[in-house]
Structure 1
């Protein structure tokens, strides 16, 4: 996600020609970063299993919350 934020920021700075550095910077640098982001999100993230790891972590969190809620409900005094 930080890579996407950097790309969008660079596009805005280049398009609006803010600062001498960004005015003179080639669009190819931004296109190169876009290509790197595409390769990362389409191939490398899947290859390393990062997309599934995030999903498993979210499901595990939901499962723990559900178990905690169930046991808190059953262990109330007066039952």
Structure 2
């Protein structure tokens, strides 16, 4: 999931749940990130590019937890695009 898509997703989710806490937003984005990694793993396997274990290992190594990313950006004040 790209960061730009993550921002759009977060904004849409916050419009639906305006009273949500930052922790709830991070949890939602983490679930979406996991779903995206699972889909990418399936595509790698279906195309014969890797076994399921290899694909999962590769994708896990290349992706950061959205929770870590969001916590870092909250602490740096870089989430000013979001309306809280």
- TM-score range, shorter-chain basis? 0.3 to 0.5
Larger relative contact order, structure 1 or 2 (CA cutoff 8 Å, min sep 6): 2
Larger radius of gyration: 1
Instruction: Indicate the structure with greater helix content.
Output: 1
| TM-score normalised by the chain length of structure 2 | 0.38
| TM-score normalised by the chain length of structure 1 | 0.39
